[in-house]
Amino acid sequence: MEAETDYKRQLNHASVHLAKLREDIVALDRCAEAAGIRSIETFDDLSKVLFPQQVYKSYPKSYLKPENRRQLTQWLQQLCAVRLPEDELTTAPTIDEWIDTLANLADIWLVHSFGTGGKLSLVPRARMEWLSGAQHVDGEIRKFSGGLADVLATPRPVIQPTFEYGATAATRAVQTIRELSLPAREAIYLHPKQRRSADALLMSRAADSKSPLPDPDQMSRFFDQAKSKFAGEDVYIFGVWPVLYDVASDALSKGIHHVFGPGSVLHTGGGTKARALPSDFTDSVKKFVGTEQVFEFYSMTEIIPAFPKCRFGNYHVPSSVVCCVMDVASGSVLDTSKVNRGQFAFLDLLASMYWGGITTGDVVTLSGTNDRCDCGNAGRYLFDVARLDAVAGGDDKISCADTAPGT
């Protein structure tokens, strides 16, 4: 009964959130109007006002051309809760400069994906939403470490095996963590003073659907540099499993291990990127780094908080996220009181610059509202994450798909 009350409360919050944001977000108002939804009283109501994940890349590819910057801005305006400086954005010669103008004039720290099919997802997230996300991650790390680890309060040098600047989620997240950390911490990057360029991604990724991973030899040299600079110190490392495992495997084969301090924090996510890694790959990475404080999260470009993974392998749903799973074939919401497997859908109540209601491209198993994980943490959790396109018969069954801007 307590769980049922909690989720009725969440649905009430979702209804209030919808009423507020549909006044400012054109695409959301259009979606809700088409679905005949004025309030959210059930998960079925919620499912009818969820955007397809592709909505944030629903613009025609031609809008990426410099001469069509106004059209791209007008497309984004339909998904954004504040008025954009259209004239100034129209004159931006590159997508990178367009993104920078959004930050400088509208305080929007837009986040983009790595790009598939020659297009990027463009999510208009406010700077304050990034700050909220970093504080959430810090809180989850403290909770899941029993208070032994934190991100913001304890100054650790940052090891970031990617670019120093850019608007991808990982780069934005580390920028925000560094901004919030007191005292400021030293950092080392694979590409210091360089930017993960959205324009370069668009040129190089038109026919490639996989996220680019660094060259293993280059990465080993980078960690050699980090070792020479921070060996024995507690550090904060933000990276993905395949990259970290390749470095760890190479180092361990040379007898190199426990490189950094035992109070180091390793922050990872994104799974294995379709790589077949050994069953003990996490142990290899822990041994190389020299820490047991490894925190893995489930997340995506469209959501502000992240779902921490517990020692039982479950990803815990943040309290600010209202979620359900939908039947892959029909799109109907599955019983939320029971464990069910289906297409994952959620509403992020922290998102106020954009509509954080998404039907994802993932299929997951989601716990029931009354279930409790063996780790002892309250709330729902998910596990066995797979891509929808890898599931037989998978397809998007989303009522708002036809109301997306650009379609």
Q: For residue 169, give every residue at least 6 positions away whose Cβ sits within 8 Å of its Cβ, in sequence order, or none.
A: 111, 299, 301
For residue range 201-254, list pLDDT tens digits in order: 998 865 454 555 678 889 999 999 999 999 999 999 999 899 999 999 999 999
Angle in degrees, 0-180, between the axes of helices 127-144 and 169-180, rounded to the nearest 10? 80
Positive or negative torsion for Cα 387, 269, 378, 44: negative
3-state helix, strand, coil in the chain (%, to 5): 40, 20, 40
What φ, ψ does residue 195 adopt, rounded to 5°?
A: -115, 140
For residue range 31-67, list pLDDT tens digits in order: 999 999 999 999 999 999 999 989 999 999 999 999 9
Buried residues in 15-51 as b, exposed as e (16+ CB within 10 A) = bebbeebbeebebbbbbbeebebeebeebebbbbbbb
Tokens at 4, concatenated? 């049922």
Q: What is the pLDDT of residue 394?
A: 45
336 pLDDT above the threshold of 70: yes
For residue range 127-148, list pLDDT tens digits in order: 999 999 999 999 999 898 887 7
What's the mean pLDDT when you consider all of the chain?
Answer: 90
Domain boundaries, the chain: 1-55+315-407, 128-298
Give me the helices (H) in 148-300, please: 169-180, 198-204, 216-230, 241-253, 281-289
Tokens at 71, concatenated? 């059209």
Mean pLDDT along residues 102-129 = 91
Mean pLDDT along residues 163-173 = 93
Q: What is the pLDDT of residue 178?
A: 85
Give me the helices (H) in 63-168, please: 69-77, 86-90, 95-106, 127-144
Closest to 57 (Cα-Cα) out of 42, 40, 75, 70: 75
Closest to 233 (Cα-Cα) out of 263, 256, 267: 263
Continuous segment of H or E residues that includes residue 30: helix 26-35
DSSP 349: T
Phi and psi based region of residue 191 (left: phi greater than 0; alpha: psi -120 to 50; beta: remaining) = beta
Positive or negative torsion for Cα 303, 95, 199, 55: positive
Q: Is the CATH code 1.10.1740 the one for domain 128-298?
A: no
